[in-house]
Amino acid sequence: MKYLHLLIICLCVSSNIFSQTEKHHWMLGLSGNGTFYNEEIQYGELYGLVNGSVTKINISGNIGYFFDDRFLAGIRSGIVIDDGHNFTHDYMGWQYNSKYFGPFVRYYFMNNDRNFNVLVDACYQAGRVTNEEKTGGPAKMATIMAGPEFFFNSSLGMDFLVGYMYQEETNTDAQLGYHYQRNGVFLSVSLQFHFIKERNRYR
């Protein structure tokens, strides 16, 4: 936590750093996170109720365009890798890959006269989940988050967002099939690159 506090202090004292959130600017973003948890899954007739531990890695990227001052819309895509170990059947492990793609919108509440801004971000993504046996099915995820973005310079920012996430996945296989829903608090930390294209150059 002390490193996070130091980062925020350094950003706050940099009075000559301003964000680029005006109309016609672009934004590229990259984020990643990992979670570790235990879960219960109700499979089909072959396995029934299964207990296991899961390691989940989520990597996503986005590209957006400021259609108006402080308002941005774009596309966000990502991949989620679930690697699990089964406590119920020791011989059974699994890995699922979920790929998502969909629109997002973002609104910044403050003008470009400070080195941080406050924003709200909403996104809906649809995709597909597959496993090692090449079975799978549809997946979807929706998030709405809010929080600050701090700027290292006029082009590079880091946001810290918290909000709500809803996620749903289905495997339609007759024996390995499952369906689950998750929802709850969602935390996100990501890097965002703000720039404008002018005379075939980026600034």
Secondary structure of residue 184 in the 3-state scheme = strand
In the chain, which ranges are continuous DSSP H helix?
2-12
The pLDDT of residue 198 is 59
The pLDDT of residue 45 is 62
Note down pLDDT in tens along the chain; length 203 residues: 555 454 444 444 443 445 689 999 999 999 987 777 776 766 666 666 777 787 888 899 999 999 999 999 999 999 988 887 776 666 567 788 999 999 999 999 998 878 899 999 999 999 999 887 778 899 999 999 999 999 998 889 999 999 999 999 888 877 767 787 889 998 889 999 998 875 444 44
Tokens of 34: 């990992």
Q: Is the separation of the CB atoms in 120 and 130 below 8 Å?
A: no
Tokens of 179: 């369906």
Measuring CA to CA, how many Å separate 172 from each of 130, 134, 159? 10, 11, 37
| Domain span including residue 166 | 2-202
Number of domains in the chain: 1
Secondary structure of residue 48 in the 3-state scheme = coil
Measuring CA to CA, how many Å separate 92 from each of 24, 28, 131, 165, 184? 52, 40, 13, 29, 28
d(CA 129, CA 134): 9
β-bridge partners, 93 = 85
The pLDDT of residue 158 is 95
The DSSP letter of residue 140 is: E
The CATH number for 115's domain is 2.40.160.20
